Structure 1
């Protein structure tokens, strides 16, 4: 049975989210979650199924957005590298992601800077982004020219794998703590009631 991981994809209109997903998945097959009114596409990589949830247009429906982030294993923020308000766009989406995931363990966040084939990027924006946004990776791509796209799934798999290992370790530690608590609890009961 395939492990299935949900990847949230956010970004401003025209940044190229849908095109990037289409190029990664390379399939017209699309699924829909009717309850949350959102579509997603799946792609199998190294015996792992990645579900890309494109949240285009969801930013104004905060309650739905919170539900959409549930069970996500990673998030991609897609931005147009040539946008004059690049920093503001990225910072806005970074704040949304961190706000919507505040009640659970942090998820890896990758920034995808699209349209490098038309690049006139301001390095000042990138310096500010690195300073004010705690991003796990920054990847520059061109969805149109299919430049840099393989790096996205490579980085996603690496980050998700690290998070999964960390969660397994935490579960193991919690189980060990519970076992110790049971042993202690049992011994204290024996002392209280004079059991051997």
Structure 2
């Protein structure tokens, strides 16, 4: 068994300037990220990605900027595009986290209730707020996603329903509070 036997591909998609590249750069510095390949995609306007881009992905992160309502509404199109082109071997959607980035900024253009409802209605694994700039919830959010990927790889044929709930990372991290 080679070192790539446990390499998972995680897609990071969303509109431009929501923090995708910064997320991948920040996360790639983490010691356990060596087993995960992240691919970034997205543009100013929504553009569907090709099936080739999605191929072999084990999970996805869709990011939006909490201060920009357009990036939030475009998240639905990113999720629909993903779901139409990629499923797990058992036919289930790949785990997909919704990250409400730039939580250190205000005012927010959307409420937590709107995000919660949106996440549930669109079949996300869950959502949480992050600040790539402040390094808040980045490793914790990715750990949740990795845990879900690992469960899916072990329980390949079981249907693991997604709930879209808010992921409270405060219980997993230190005592800081975002927003």
User: TM-score, length-normalised on structure 2?
Assistant: 0.73
Per-residue deviation at 1:94?
1.1
Shift of 1:131: 4.0
Show CA shifts across 1:117-171 (max 9, x none).
003232253144134211102121111111111212211221111110122x57x
Q: Which runs of 5+ in 1 are unaligned?
A: 27-42, 171-196
- Matches of 2:145 and 2:116, distance apart in 1: 23
Q: How far has the Cα of 1:103 moved from its partner?
A: 8.5
* Residue in structure 2 matching 1:107, options 94, 107, 119: 94
- The 1-side partners of 2:7 and 2:128 are apart by 23
Q: Which has the higher helix share?
A: 1
Counterpart pick for 2:37 among 51, 59, 71: 51
Q: Does 1:67 align with 2:47?
A: no
- Aligned-residue CA RMSD in angstroms? 2.5
- Structure 2 Cα separation of the partners of residues 54 and 148 of structure 1: 19
Query: How many Å separate the matches in 2 of 1:131 and 1:156?
Result: 16
Give the deviation of 1:84 after TM superposition: 2.2
Aligned residue runs from structure 1 range 145-160, under 5 A: 145-160=134-149
Q: Would you tell me which structure has more strand in proportion to its own residues?
A: 1
Q: Shift in Å at residue 102 of structure 1?
A: 5.3
* Residue 101 of structure 2 is aligned to residue 98 of structure 1: no
Q: CA offset at residue 78 of structure 1?
A: 0.9
Question: Structure 1 residues 149 and 102, CA, compared in 2 at 3 Å: closer, same or farther?
Answer: closer
TM-score, normalising length: structure 1: 0.68
Q: Spell out, residue by residue over 1:68-102, the C-alpha distance to the aligned partner (whole angstroms, 9 max, x if none).
A: 11111001101101112354122111111111115
Paired with 1:134 and 1:61, the residues of 2 have a C-alpha distance of 18
How many residues get paired? 150
